[in-house]
A and B are shown apart, each in its own frame.
Chain A
Amino acid sequence: MTEQAPVAETQNPTEHALGALQARFGDAVQLDNRDGYTGLIVAPEKLVEVAQAVRDQLGYDYLTSATAVDYLGKGDHLEMVYHVCRTEGGSPLVLKAQTPRDQATLPSLTGVWPAANFQEREAWDLMGIRFEGHPNLKRILLWEGFAGHPLRKDWHEAYYEEEHKPYDSRWPEGKPFRAEAFNPYGKNVQYPADFDPAAYEELAEKAIYEDVPLGVSVRHDLASERVVVSLGPQHPSTHGVFRMVVSLDGETIQALEPVFGYLHRNHEKIGERNTFLGNMPYTDRLDYICSLSNNFGYAEAVERLLATGRRWQAPTRRAEAIRVLMGELTRVLNHLFAIGFLLNDLGAYFTPMMYSLVERELILDFFEAVTGSRMMCNYFRFGGVAYDLPETMRTTAALMNDRVRDFNTMAYLDELINERLPRAIDQADEFLTQNEIVTNRCIGVGVLPKEDAIALGAGGPVLRASGVPYDVRRAEPYSLYPELEFDVAVRYHGDIYDRYLIRIDEMRQSIRILKQILGILRETEGQPFFAGTPKYNVRVPAGEAYGRVENPKGELGFYVVSDGGQNPWRYHVRSPSFINLGALETMTKGHKVADVVAILGSIDIVLGEVDR
């Protein structure tokens, strides 16, 4: 069940949209003509109307990313940036709206694109922009009561040293120091001066339960009491530290509110202090199951900026081949993992997982041999990759069974791609697809209709299982994908079962890609894996870029703003898991509490990426 998605159009979307919108809204829509910027600046009063026109007349039905930038000292305003796409494909249209830093307020776009819901809450939480008309404008990653909006440029964390890395010196005059030494509390905390802990009343928990419906619902036959249950953050089936507050009528879900932030590790704040290259290892830790494809997304974004400069050499063909190899191996690995976890959630405790992990170890051995690390590979560079594939690889796996020997890397890959992985996929297919428990619990459960999937901004397998053949690899092709043969997998029911099946389909497509890549790798043997000379500090031209790749979990986007310095001025991650969770309530409503766990498993989230 596959369908060729239409390939990208060629007309510049911004110019086309500008003409159409200015005809209707006049001066309220302006071209963003700052150096290195694209898109349209919309006057806040007209934002909702313009957005509606963009959606209905121009057909941009899919909001991918919405985020805020603080231009402190560069115009002193906050700017909300929306990237909207068409589900038929093509590059995104960028809309922007500006608001002064004090009293920052903008109209909410949740009415136009419901996908804006969580992302606007995030912008409120971290940047302090109030959204008028937002149904539930509460902090999302931090807790109610937290002091300040940390992504503002003038907000300093407790361990603040300097604006930018590399810091002057961690050992002035030969004496090393640690950040703790300069914090009056000796740990990573700070309080406002008028803070009185003895009189403090905690808001965090109360705010979570504030608008969860409680009370008795009187139906004509029986009166049943509503119960509120908090699932997580410590729960064996929440895939980490995710929490859901569900309101139940008997066993049926009435309302569900996800609670985020238990793994909010401040990627973006740290990322804005890091150098451009220094962020690469941090991207590994976003979706820690797919570190290499996160690298891919970040490299893609920064390379877009670099390409606007003068001395830029695009990655070589071998580099691109290695990148795609890594990306697709990661996809197989992730989907095997996801299926294992889904079965875990259905009650097959750990056994299917064990089988998934066998193949995962083989892939990890390859990663370790090439990049030096099993999980946190830190392997991509702007303009290529860090090392070439080694000729031979000896793995720790080899030390633990009786096949202690060096493998020829290409032979290892050959066996992996042509035999082991297809066999593992077939095995999963054979044992699980027709399994009675799987079919009974998955078919027709957790349905996400096509229209909702698009409106809520769901991405990746979740979107494609609802009948939308949208895949960034085809919608806005990057790297070698235009020349590779593969189909975009699509299924039409939008239930758990289809989300399971689509992963099997996608793995098969990945194998198809990988087989082609093996040929390209042989062809390019010995050619350079990096264009130009590797540099520790890259000069990135001023401007903005939004780079996106099709991660196993959905569209992973990086929005990077550079002011020409060594560090990104703004570094935002559009994480697929986070935005896919926006569809969770739609999927779960009316189902039993036991199904929530399975539905969550079928979305396939990783908390490092959800909370960042």
Chain B
Amino acid sequence: MSQNNGNGNNHHDDFLQELHNPDVPVPENMRSAVAVTSFTKLLDSIYNWGRRNSIWPMAFGLACCAIEMIATAASRFDQARFGMEVIRASPRQADLMLVSGTVTKKMIVPIVRLYNQMPEPKYVLAMGACAIGGGPFKEGYNVVSGIDKYIPVDVYVPGCPPTPQALLHGLIMLQKKIDRQSLGNPNSTPWYGRGPGDEVPLPVLGPDVFDPRQVHVLGRQAKAAQAAADAPEAEDTTA
């Protein structure tokens, strides 16, 4: 904060102001020291402050984008400035899955498994055109057109590969997202709900990859597709 002249007070004031409930009057001269707020808001601010500044990514590189991810972690761009330098090899210790590269059908199975193994709260950042939608390899027969076909994604960072600056921007966006989550709102912090969350079922490598959640419709669709292909004059089958 260069405009602070080094004393850091502005930042402190901003923080109090944000916390403060404007309906409660506080005398002018005490505004820099006192904020009246609700218990949840206070708790949220501490809880999220801790979480946003210690996001541990999983060491998980898929393709070309992973090289830029490594560059982001290295000294020039230095992702340690955001408390994200603790890169864990185990999904059990990780908060953030950076899907950095092309997701293939063969790889989607381990990815979903890793995602299931990460403890809540967990976040997914799709880095690069490939992870977002298949990218340059979209038509490839072994390529999944976007990781979000299987697991939920929090932040998308476009590029091929995104520059380290873009990735940092994405990580800051993730921090902003975390800031908005509130313990008072069970929808934004579902991991405190009742019971364990649902696991994402593992895709299966059959004649082509398939999602077990779709078992009941796939056979039917395959037959319909075949029938449409056999009768080319019945053009319009885009359901």
Contacts and interface: CB of A to CB of B under 8 A. Distances in A.
B185 interface: no
B64 interface: yes
A240 B145 contact: no
Interface in A158-195: 158-161, 179-182, 184-185, 187-193, 195
A288 B73 CA distance: 18
B127 interface: no
Contact of A234 (B60, B76, B104): B60
Given A143-B205, A193-B222, A396-B165, A263 B107 contact: yes
Interface string A90-103: 00000000000000
A354 interface: yes
B1 interface: no
B238 A182 contact: yes
Interface stretch (A114-122, A197-205, A501-509): A197-205
A265 interface: yes
B219 A196 contact: yes
B75 interface: yes
A191 B104 contact: no
Nearest to B207: A147
Interface residues of B, number: 63
A247 to B, nearest CB: 21
A196 B207 CA distance: 10
Contacts of A281: 136
B207 A266 contact: no
Contacts of B73: 350
A282 interface: yes
Given A189-B208, A197-B206, A142 B106 contact: yes
Contact of B67 (A193, A265, A289, A396): A289
A357 B71 contact: yes
B183 interface: no
B215 A192 contact: no
A354 B74 CA distance: 6
A240 B238 contact: no
Nearest to B91: A234
Contact of B139 (A143, A159, A236): A159
B208 A191 contact: yes
A146 B75 contact: no
B33 to A, nearest CB: 37
Contacts of B167: none
B68 A375 contact: yes
Interface of A: 141-143, 145-147, 150, 157-161, 179-182, 184-185, 187-193, 195-198, 200, 202, 204, 233-236, 240-241, 261-266, 269-270, 273, 281-282, 285, 288-289, 350, 353-354, 357-358, 360-361, 374-376, 396-397, 400, 607-608
Interface of B: 59-64, 66-68, 70-71, 73-76, 89, 91, 101-102, 104, 106-107, 110, 114, 134, 136-145, 149, 160-161, 163, 165, 204-210, 212, 214-216, 218-219, 221-226, 228, 237-239
List 3 A-B pairs, minimum CB-CB distance, nearest first. Answer: A266-B140, A147-B207, A193-B226
